[in-house]
Structure 1
């Protein structure tokens, strides 16, 4: 159960409070340290999944912890960034991204209960969204870096791109789940009949 992929996922959860503390430390190096911690967490997000598949070490614990760790770090980072820059410019994409994560998580849980979890599995579009989201957040964390204000502006632009991709991917998930949501024949029933 406590294999390396699961330990990396657990490390990602442990890094959440470390990130928050570093973000609020009033020191010239704090934004760099916070961005580094966030980047390390994003890297473990890719690495734990890769290792689990490569070494065939997937487990129920890992399947549960991985999405929790991902959403926890992203949601906390977005909340502290919004607190640091409470303009509507930031509030809109943050609201969209967090709202989408809650909606899709609930949808996946419900689809799993009716045996149709595969219909809302992570898509290629979802992966592109995640990359845009992670890069944007990292750039936004470097809000007062030596690189200049353009870094923050690029971060905001990427956050809007991530928000648009977020809505787009959510629409695909809802469309795939719609037969079940509308009370028609479930996807699981259809697959059983075709088998």
Structure 2
């Protein structure tokens, strides 16, 4: 095994994946949301950086090629699990997340079954866009949790009449309820739109991999 900087960055991204979930075990919200968001964004940046450095420095290795997709899938799967676990289980969120999770498990199973010929399932440009869209969508959805809990902290102790008066402009908005509510709503909408786009790309790339693998799945291959 060759441990160069690109491989170390990939390994750190793999370790960061369960770290996102651990933030919600050891910290209260909204601090857990903040830490998970920061950790996820930093780890996502390494997804681009390790590949760029490996190509630029000619340090591409079999270890890196093996760890990179595992780290990406671990990040996405664990982050989606956390987001759904702390959500209202809306079908508009659960459905695209299910498509993404199913595809990642399915393609991983295909690669394992194909063994030596798994090289036929090379990562395509569309698959890279899929991963990028997944990570952006997840980061935006994590930011929704930040807005949501700061809004909850701001309205603590207020009754519904007071909240309504502030949001309607009848009372002075001393605690920034309007921008916190707008941030929560827009990050939720945008994150959900991006997740549906990511799920669509995920389904398309999964179908593409299946078509490429079919000749090797026939009996007597």
Question: Structure 1 unaligned runs (5+)?
Answer: 187-195
2:53 is the counterpart of 1:17: no
**Local SS of the residue matching 1:143:** helix
Q: 1:104 aligns with which of 84, 104, 107?
A: 107
Deviation at 1:20, TM superposition (A): 1.8
2:84 is the counterpart of 1:82: yes
Q: 1:64 aligns with which of 60, 66, 87?
A: 66
User: Considering only aligned residues, what root-mean-square deviation do their CA atoms show, in Å?
Assistant: 1.8
Length-normalised TM-score, structure 2? 0.76
Deviation at 1:23, TM superposition (A): 4.1
For 1:134, the equivalent position in structure 2 comes to 135
> 1:68-98 CA distances to partner (integer Å, 9 max, x unpaired)?
1111111100001110112222221111111
CA distance in 1, matches of 2:190, 2:111: 32
Deviation at 1:164, TM superposition (A): 1.1
Closer/same/farther in 2, CA of residues 105 and 17 from structure 1, 3 Å limit: closer
CA distance in 1, matches of 2:139, 2:24: 12
For 1:46, the equivalent position in structure 2 comes to 48
Length-normalised TM-score, structure 1? 0.85
CA distance in 2, matches of 1:94, 1:154: 15
Which portions of structure 1, spanning 4 or more consecutive aligned residues, are displaced by more than 4 angstroms?
none
2:191 is the counterpart of 1:155: yes
**Local SS of the residue matching 2:184:** coil
CA distance in 2, matches of 1:127, 1:75: 16
CA distance in 1, matches of 2:70, 2:184: 34
Count of aligned residue pairs for this structure pair:
183
2:95 is the counterpart of 1:92: yes
Deviation at 1:31, TM superposition (A): 2.1
More deviation in 101-110 or 152-161? 101-110
Query: Which gives a bigger RCO, structure 1 or 2 (Cα 8 Å, sep 6+)?
Result: 2
Question: Structure 2 unaligned runs (5+)?
Answer: 148-179
For 2:165, the equivalent position in structure 1 comes to none
For 1:191, the equivalent position in structure 2 comes to none
CA distance in 1, matches of 2:66, 2:76: 17
